[in-house]
């Protein structure tokens, strides 16, 4: 389904929910639950906590849906709620996420990935692990606005316009933040690239 037809389908479901059809919200949850869990998993690394926070985000969205005017696409509105819910969860816990980073959307591939690792040379596996570690550490050290913009672009595949809606800033600011985040990561991985 194209983005435009998905947005139109979402809008119809939203109108049905606003008219009192609770089953229509179930369809929206089914449509976006994996994406929302994956997005929250970038903030809340514990899988069980991420599921709880995702549920909380959907509850907040359901309660706020009567006031949804459709000024932005439903999913950008939902992403904003999910990001804010994840941030609030971390503030309430007064901590940063743990270092374990497993994306729920990718969990189904973990077994196959581990089998493929056995075919790699030890040097390649070590290099890849080091590269992942450096990228993750650099991403974690980025200012929040840069980290969120890059995460939404690279991991969620969102357009610059949608990111601007989620982050409530101009598209030019989004492009600048993503550029600066990529530049910071490139600077950190350059020594690894030059050594291989």
Confidence of residue 120 (pLDDT cuts 50, 70, 90): low
- CATH class given for the domain over 1-106: mainly alpha
Say which residue the tokens 């119809």 belong to.
Answer: 12
CA angle (105 as vertex; 14, 93 as ends), nearest 5: 80
Residue with tokens 């980073």: 101
Question: How far is Cα 168 from Cα 17, in angstroms, rounded to an integer?
Answer: 25
Q: Residue 15's pLDDT is what?
A: 92
Q: Average pLDDT of the chain? A: 81
Residue 30: how many CB atoms within 10 A of its CB?
A: 9
pLDDT tens profile 104-115? 444 444 333 433
- The stretch 162-166 carries a mean pLDDT of 91
Is-contact 154 146, C-beta < 8 A? no
- Report the pLDDT value the prediction gives residue 6, as an integer from 0 to 100: 83
Hey, which CATH number is domain 120-196, 1.10.10.10, 3.40.50.720, 3.40.50.2000, 1.10.287.610?
1.10.10.10
In the Cβ-directed half-sphere of 164, how many Cα atoms lie within 13 Å? Answer: 11
Question: Domain ranges in the chain?
Answer: 1-106, 120-196
Percent of the chain with pLDDT over 90: 40
82 neighbors 39 (Cβ within 8 angstroms): yes
Give the pair of three-digit tokens for residue 30: 């089914």
Q: Do 1-106 and 120-196 come out as alike in CATH topology?
A: no
């Amino acid at each position: 389904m194209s983005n435009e037809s998905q947005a139109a389908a979402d809008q119809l479901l939203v109108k049905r929910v606003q008219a009192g059809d609770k089953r229509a919200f179930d369809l929206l949850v089914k449509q976006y639950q994996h994406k929302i869990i994956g997005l929250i998993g970038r903030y809340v690394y514990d899988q069980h906590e991420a599921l709880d926070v995702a549920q909380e985000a959907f509850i907040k969205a359901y309660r706020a849906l009567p006031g949804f005017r459709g000024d932005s696409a439903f999913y950008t509105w939902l992403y904003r709620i999910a990001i804010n819910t994840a941030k609030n969860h971390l503030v309430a816990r007064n901590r940063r996420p743990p270092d374990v980073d497993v994306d729920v959307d990718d969990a189904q591939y973990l077994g196959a990935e581990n089998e493929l690792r056995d075919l790699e040379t030890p040097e390649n596996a070590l290099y890849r692990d080091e590269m992942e570690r450096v990228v993750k550490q650099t991403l974690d050290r980025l200012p929040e606005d840069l980290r969120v913009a890059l995460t939404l672009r690279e991991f969620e595949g969102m357009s610059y316009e949608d990111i601007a809606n989620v982050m409530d800033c101009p598209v030019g600011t989004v492009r600048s933040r993503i550029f600066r985040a990529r530049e910071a990561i490139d600077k950190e991985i350059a020594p690894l690239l030059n050594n291989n």
